[in-house]
Amino acid sequence: MKHAVANVDRIKRQLLRDLVEQNVDLIAGRPPRPRRRRGALRLSLRLATLALLSVALFGSSRWLSTLAEPRPVSAAAAFARNPAPPVSPARLPGKVPASETAFAGMVPPKPVDAAVFPLAVRRVVIDAGHGGTSVGTRTPQGVLEKDLTLDIAIRLRRLLEKQLQVVMTRESDRDVSLEQRGTLANQAGADIFVSIHLNWIQNRRSRGVETYYLGPTDDPYLTRLAASENLESGYSLADMRHLLDRIYAGVRQDKSRKLAEVVQGALFQSLGKLSPEVADRGVKAAPFIVLLSTEMPAILAEVSSMSNEDEARLLTKPLYRQYIAEALAKGIRTYAGVVEGAPEMTLAGEKGNPIQ
């Protein structure tokens, strides 16, 4: 008995020493001290084996992209089967150029039957368009696109984060190049990427929503739009060649189109109910770099037209931005096959119809 008590006291003393050291390191801003653990070696071996197996079996990290449409699996079920820790951008490793990855330049494999891998959407990257010195477009009243996209993105995160892991490309008003956005999404291992933008349409009477996925276009309007959105890409010409190789590899295009369709459907259905003048401008393909640089199904949603006076006025209302976020969330959940368990609650103080 005495021995057991002494043993507990000894363990407590050791634990307290370690705990204090851990907290002293924390105060000093030092990283945690490495421990010599058998397990660490085991983990490294496991990871190395897994990497070798992936290369041997599939020859490329792009093998996932070649799968046909996955069988829908609810995120809840997916979590139950394979719980993964939440990811915060703060934990993401540093940027690695795509050309330096172990799998760059390998030959794409033959398509594999998706039924073999019941894939689920677990992690969503929400990209608030523009930010920092890139202000995007602005309403006649001076409201900036970068501020609106961030607000809608934060609302969308709140709506999704109970069911899906959400990674934001930015959470404040700061510059993030298109390249950084793509890299962040790729390194986060995101399952889908949703970029939020607000449109400026020459015909200012026109108001509507449209959603893009990656693909070539002959439409001069879309070429101009893509060129303007691609301005702050951060890519060099050499990077571009590597990126362009990916376009026609058949990658993700079907899944991106599908995602674009459901999100566009949800946006139009929801916002069209509020104001019948909102037009369904459809799902379109265009070569946006932010979509090009990602390795997962990716879309760019133009959720409103800032050029239209009525839309510009509505966009200043928090509740309208909440409706937009809810419509986006609905589309994403539909794509992800998530059961709509969480109540779609508006924020405190945001009640009623913004149109009225």
Contact residues for other proteins (CB under 8 A)? 7-8, 11-12, 14-20, 22-24, 26-27, 29, 35, 37, 39-40, 43, 76, 79-81, 83, 85-86, 88-91, 161-162, 171-172, 339-343, 345, 348-349
Do 311 and 304 form a contact (C-beta atoms < 8 A)? yes
> Which residue, 215 or 354, has its beta carbon nearer to other proteins?
354
Nearer to other proteins, 12 or 95 (CB): 12
Q: What's the CA gap between 256 and 2, in Å, rounded?
A: 67
Tokens of 89: 């951008």
Residues near 232 by beta carbon (within 8 Å), at least 6 away in sequence = 134, 175, 177, 178
CB closer to other proteins out of 20 and 53:
20
Q: In the complex, what is the shortest distance from the CB of residue 28 to other proteins, in angstroms, rounded to a whole number?
A: 10
Least distance from C-beta 26 to other proteins, angstroms? 6
Closest CB to other proteins among 170 and 246? 170
| Comparison of 168 and 262: residue with beta carbon closer to other proteins | 168
CB of 324 to other proteins, least distance (A): 21
Cα dihedral 16, 17, 22, 24, rounded to 10, equals 110
Residue 303's identity, in one-letter code, is V
Cβ 86 to other proteins shortest distance, Å = 6
Parallel, antiparallel or unpaired: strands 208-214 and 298-305: antiparallel
* Residue located via tokens 């719980």: 83
Nearer to other proteins, 13 or 71 (CB): 13
Amino acid at 280: D
CB of 80 to other proteins, least distance (A): 4
Quote the CA–CA distance of 142 and 136 in Å, as a whole number: 12
CB of residue 13 vs other proteins: minimum separation in angstroms? 8
Beta bridge partners of 299: 194, 213
Tokens of 263: 């999100």
CB 120 within 8 A of CB 74: yes
